[in-house]
């Protein structure tokens, strides 16, 4: 039986916009993610997909529910503890790449290693190793504005892998890419999943991406569909 990396039950989250107007983003979602999964969270716009991913990524907290990450109960953690767990156990890939524009590709990847506690030599070696893996050996010293969208996303993937996280969380990882580049990126993620047993959980509205996944978790109106 594969190891359970994420076990969450009854997750609820609401946002109070005004005294009389609240948005109930999650109304009691349950989710399990196992080691080696390659899964997509799907559903209509506004159904709570990104809210769920942010909670699972310790970027937000639920109002109610239980959540265990790689065997650790994270619900009662203080912010400092959550920051450490997030840096060591989670990798993030964002739709907008979120690269630091003044840093080179290698420096962007090294920055994640710094948060993970690596020394300078370790960060440099790990960044070069991963950018080689991403076929960016000739782009390491280029800044984001000197890279194509697909190349920027490859840098973002390398950054997500730096600390050898238990799970990679991706929020619309192909949202800003053309169709051909989107398929290229998804094939790369599938290769990492297949060859390294790397675990991925991604939010997507793209059914081609969803269909490429081994599992799908469907949400509707803040609930499991």
pLDDT tens digits in sequence order for the chain, 225 residues long: 889 999 999 999 999 888 888 889 999 999 999 999 999 999 998 899 999 999 999 999 999 999 999 999 999 889 899 998 998 899 999 888 899 999 999 999 999 998 888 999 999 999 999 999 999 999 999 999 999 999 999 999 999 999 999 999 999 999 888 888 988 999 999 999 999 999 999 999 889 899 999 999 999 999 998
Give the span between the Cα atoms of 125 and 177, in whole angstroms. Answer: 29
- Cross-strand pairs, 203: 41, 171
CATH of the domain at 203: 3.40.50.300
Q: Is residue 194 part of a domain?
A: yes
Residue 124 to residue 105: CA distance in whole angstroms? 11
Rounded-to-integer distance, Cα 114 and Cα 174, Å: 26
Is residue 68 domain-resident?
A: no
**Within a domain: 217:** yes
Q: Structural domain tally of the chain?
A: 1
Entry pTM: 0.91
Domain ranges, residue 109: 37-59+79-224
């Amino acid at each position: 039986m594969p190891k359970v990396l994420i076990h969450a039950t009854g997750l609820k989250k609401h946002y109070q916009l005004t005294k009389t107007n609240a948005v109930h983003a999650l109304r009691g979602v349950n989710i399990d993610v196992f080691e080696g999964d390659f899964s997509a969270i799907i559903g209509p716009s506004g159904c709570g997909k990104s809210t769920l991913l942010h909670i699972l990524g310790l970027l937000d907290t639920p109002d109610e529910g239980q959540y265990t990450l790689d065997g650790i109960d994270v619900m009662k953690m203080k912010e400092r503890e959550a920051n450490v767990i997030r840096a060591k156990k989670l990798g993030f890939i964002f739709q907008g790449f979120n690269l630091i524009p003044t840093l080179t590709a290698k420096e962007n990847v090294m920055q994640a290693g710094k948060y993970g506690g690596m020394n300078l030599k370790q960060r440099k070696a790990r960044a070069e190793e991963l950018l080689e893996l991403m076929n960016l050996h000739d782009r390491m010293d280029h800044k984001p504005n000197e890279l194509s969208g697909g190349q920027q996303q490859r840098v973002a993937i390398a950054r997500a892998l730096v600390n050898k996280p238990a799970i990679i969380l991706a929020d619309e990882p192909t949202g800003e890419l053309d169709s051909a580049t989107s398929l290229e990126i998804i094939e790369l993620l599938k290769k990492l999943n297949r060859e390294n047993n790397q675990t991925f959980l991604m939010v997507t509205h793209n059914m081609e991406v969803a269909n490429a996944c081994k599992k799908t978790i469907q949400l509707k109106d803040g609930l499991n569909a």
